[in-house]
Structure 1
Amino acid sequence: MSPSPQKPSLSPASPPPIFAARGLRKVYHTGDLNVVALQGVDLDFHTGELAVLLGASGSGKSTLLNILGGLDIPTSGSLHYKGWDLSGGGERTLTQFRRNCVGFVFQFYNLIPSLTARENVALITDIAPDPMKPEDALDRVGLSHRLDHFPSQLSGGEQQRVAIARAIAKKPEVLLCDEPTGALDVNTGITVLEAIERINRELGTLTIVITHNAAMSAMADRVLHLSDGHIVKESRNAERASVSSLQW
């Protein structure tokens, strides 16, 4: 009996992107003035990627991040998160997306002064469907020894790391960071970036970081350069540089 024919081996398909954006355009209306913040942006982001959005003030970085995070909607174009339509799903869809899927880190820490580090993080873990413990989140950013300190008892870098712990405590698949070191000195900023890089590496969280500091490009898998609402250049690093090796 002749052997049964073998099926040809197939290479595994590339995993679908977490985010797929096509033709994103955002126009802000101020009186009689129309300000075009994004002009037809197409891009994909994938699981575990660390991407840096680089560009001058007014280039469209924050607008793009706000749309990716469900804080704003595009004027036109489409945005899908794992096949979920964020551009046309309505406020209920965006609220569910923000609550369950994405963590935010901003330039300013937005901690509640009357709550300890542990309690600030617990604000998120109390409402998330499957959170990590506040103590575990703070340990991941190197603050297990500061659990019961109030923001006024923490340095700027420590406060920002509490903000990162709060953002990751819900176990989001996406971490969006808008100028996370903008209010910090170089040495403190390095500590904060090391915490962000560690979260990306250990949890596989898609991490997108806005900056105007080109030195941070070397820590990323991919760098997107924005100008006047366009992605004018995209580059990839064959290897990510360690944060401590960045040339500031």
Structure 2
Amino acid sequence: MAMQADRSGIGESQAVLRISDLSKSYIMGEVQVDALKQVSLDFYAGELAVLLGASGSGKSTLLNIIGGLDTPTSGKLFFHGREITAATEAELTAYRRRSIGFVFQFYNLISSLSALENVQLVTEIAENPMKADEALRLVGLGDRLNHFPAQLSGGEQQRVAIARAVAKRPELLLCDEPTGALDFQTGKLVLDVIENVNRELGTTTLVITHNASIAGMADRVVRLRSGEVSEDRRNLTRVSPSELVW
């Protein structure tokens, strides 16, 4: 069933995340590679945005800079008005620990720990975490708390990774190709979990993907091409992840 995209409050308040003329260049041998070229974007509280682009479009570079894992060559990034691009390494560590939840294509679970213990690794260092079992129930794994990664399917392992990311109650959830290692049906289940976290917790959520079909579930779609923003639009209606087809 199609859903109305214009949720109350999104885009009306001050931006949670403000990106201003962000550029990133690499030197590879004697060649300069411009991964990002003066990208400017604002993201708002509770927004679910899909960042689309082919391999090499700059979307992962942008997500890594937003998450404090990389630094730009020029330009600025602000989080609640505070310039993250001017932060010290200690301040960046605190930003990542307190404010950012990461979900990657590969789950990065510790094989010798149960699902519950994998999530507890985060809750033990977070300032105001939810209980690990609560986070796992949020992603539909309340009956798998004591299972080890090898006893879980790929989709279940990705849901543990999502639970681990959201257990510290981050303001930003950054998902880098979260369905890339999953089959079509399992991928839709994982996207449903991401949408549920966004809806239930109000977490500003950025999902990057090369799969244009996933854009249908978003409040907003940003397309990157050759390091530049080629499209930035809001969906008039949103589609439930269960209805996505690719």
Q: TM-score range by the shorter chain?
A: over 0.9
Match in the other structure for 1:167: 165
Secondary structure at the aligned position of 1:65 is classed as helix
Q: CA RMSD in A?
A: 1.0
2:203 to 193, 199, 205: 205
2:47 to 42, 49, 62: 49
Mapping 1:85-234, distance limit 5 Å: 85-234=83-232
1:26 to 6, 10, 24: 24
Q: Does 1:73 align with 2:61?
A: no
Q: Deviations over 1:46-81 (max 9, x none)?
A: 000000000100000000000111111111001000
Q: How many residues are paired up?
A: 236
Distance of 2:14 and 2:225 partners within structure 1: 27
- Letter aligned with residue 72 of structure 1: D
- TM-score if structure 1 supplies the norm length? 0.94
Distance of 1:160 and 1:79 partners within structure 2: 29
Percent same amino acid at aligned positions?
60
Deviation at 1:220, TM superposition (A): 0.2
- Letter aligned with residue 202 of structure 2: G
- Letter aligned with residue 142 of structure 1: G
- Letter aligned with residue 199 of structure 2: R
Distance of 1:192 and 1:238 partners within structure 2: 23
Distance of 1:169 and 1:98 partners within structure 2: 14
Structure whose alpha-carbon radius of gyration is higher: 1
Mapping 1:226-245, distance limit 5 Å: 226-245=224-243
Q: Deviations over 1:3-38 (max 9, x none)?
A: xxxxxxxxxx94110111110000112232211100
Deviation at 1:247, TM superposition (A): 2.1
Deviation at 1:185, TM superposition (A): 0.2
Distance of 2:75 and 2:17 partners within structure 1: 13
Secondary structure at the aligned position of 1:113 is classed as coil
- Letter aligned with residue 60 of structure 2: S
- Letter aligned with residue 125 of structure 1: T
Deviation at 1:123, TM superposition (A): 0.3
Deviation at 1:228, TM superposition (A): 0.5
Distance of 1:176 and 1:14 partners within structure 2: 22
- Letter aligned with residue 77 of structure 2: L
Distance of 1:28 and 1:95 partners within structure 2: 23
Deviation at 1:165, TM superposition (A): 0.1
- TM-score if structure 2 supplies the norm length? 0.94
> Higher relative CO (CA 8 A, sep ≥ 6), structure 1 or 2?
2
Q: Gapped runs of 5+ residues in structure 2?
A: 1-10
